[in-house]
């Protein structure tokens, strides 16, 4: 049913009110030469071509930003009103199921007649919303209700991504504090954990950046959006409720980021402890071998007048001294509990 929406090929999706029930939306892909039907509550431009942009512009009397314009917008141009239409560009998390998700620019154009979305990626939130909106009572049929539903799906998806990251962070935390010295010696566990921490922080920062842009959109709508006078439905969007949800996700993201920072510090601390153990072992071996090395050096000198050279027991005596002075430092370190 949603096969058309899953491809990134250029397409123009039209969502209109179901004539049988009147309480849900139905959608289809518009053909190249087919005009936009009246009463289209939501026009979804997925990777649109120039002719598709012009078709929507002629239908609603608005301008459609290109991909370059969406990406290169200045902060003051991300949200604005023009000719009665509200233009809002938000950054939505995309490819969140991969190790390196990215942010996709999505432009919302809210008019009295329709909601227009312009996107060049396929965020998972849109698939979630499409599953909801085609069911009876899944979403209102007004443009502002559709936009509220999309934002709700974006927020839900962000919360789901954070919950998944939180579970993986907990698993990584247990791996850190239950690690064994052999893992460090083999270069396995801690190196992998540090790499994972970097990936998790990337996901969390993307979620936070997405929620900041969504919060700006919601604050703009709560301050500037006014329901059309001709609207007969009693639906009123709850922008402020969505703002509280977004702020809660931002706080959760901050908590996870702080937890990751603690994990990073703990991991580096544990690595330092293990390295200190190795350095301490080398130091003990060096100290233990210093007296035998000194004895061997003395009797390795080429002086003729060395009386020990004529002793019949000189060789075993030198070997015994080297063994003795190698064992004594070791026993002293054990007595001091340095080993």
Per-residue pLDDT reduced to its tens digit, 152-182? 999 999 999 999 888 888 887 777 777 554 4
- Here the tokens at position 136 are 């009876």
Instruction: Count each helix (H run) and each strand (E run) in the chain, helices first.
Output: 9, 7
Report H helices in 178-188: 181-185
* Residue position matching structure tokens 């510090």: 265
Write down the pTM of the prediction: 0.75
Residue 116, strand partner residues: 43, 109
Q: How many CB atoms lie within 10 A of CB 313?
A: 9
- Tens-place pLDDT, residues 39-75: 788 888 888 888 888 888 888 888 888 888 787 766 6
Count the alpha carbons within 13 Å of 243 in the hemisphere toward its beta carbon.
13
Domains contained in the chain, CATH given: 3-273 (3.30.460.20), 277-335 (no CATH)
Q: Mean of the pLDDT values across residues 106-127?
A: 89
Q: Which of 224, 231, 202 is nearest to 95 (CA)?
A: 202
Q: Which of 53, 206, 51, 36 is nearest to 123 (CA)?
A: 206
Region of 33 (left: φ > 0; alpha: ψ -120 to 50; beta: rest) is alpha
Task: Please give the span between the terminal C-alpha atoms of the chain, in angstroms, as a whole number.
Answer: 69
């Amino acid at each position: 049913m949603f096969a058309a929406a899953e491809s990134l090929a250029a397409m123009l999706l039209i969502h209109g009110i179901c004539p049988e029930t009147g309480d849900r939306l139905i959608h289809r892909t518009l053909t190249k030469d087919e005009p936009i039907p009246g009463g289209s509550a939501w026009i979804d431009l997925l990777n649109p071509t120039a002719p598709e942009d012009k078709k929507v512009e002629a239908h609603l009397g608005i301008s459609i930003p290109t991909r370059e314009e969406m990406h290169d917008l200045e902060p003051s141009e991300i949200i604005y009103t023009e000719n009665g239409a509200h233009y809002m560009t938000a950054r939505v998390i995309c490819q969140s199921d991969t190790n390196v998700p990215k942010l996709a620019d999505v432009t919302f154009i809210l008019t009295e007649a329709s909601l227009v979305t312009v996107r060049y990626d396929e965020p998972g939130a849109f698939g979630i919303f499409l599953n909801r909106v085609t069911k009876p009572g899944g979403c209102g049929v007004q443009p502002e209700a559709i936009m509220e539903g999309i934002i709700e799906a974006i927020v839900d998806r962000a919360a789901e991504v954070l919950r998944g990251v939180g579970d993986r962070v907990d698993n990584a935390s247990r791996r850190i504090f239950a690690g064994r010295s052999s893992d460090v010696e083999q270069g396995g566990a801690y190196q992998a954990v540090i790499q994972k921490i970097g990936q998790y922080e990337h996901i969390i920062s993307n979620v936070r950046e997405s929620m900041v842009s969504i919060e700006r959109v919601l604050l703009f709508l709560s301050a500037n959006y006014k329901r059309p006078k001709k609207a007969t439905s009693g639906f009123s969007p709850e922008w402020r409720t969505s703002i509280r949800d977004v702020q809660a996700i931002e706080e959760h993201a901050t908590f996870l980021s702080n937890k990751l920072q603690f994990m990073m510090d703990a991991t580096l601390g544990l690595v330092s402890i293990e390295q200190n153990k190795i350095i301490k072992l080398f130091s003990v071996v060096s100290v233990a071998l210093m007296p035998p090395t000194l004895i061997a050096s003395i009797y390795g000198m080429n002086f003729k007048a060395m009386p020990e050279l004529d002793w019949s027991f000189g060789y075993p005596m030198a070997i015994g001294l080297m063994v003795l002075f190698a064992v004594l430092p070791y026993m002293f370190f054990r007595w001091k509990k340095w080993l």
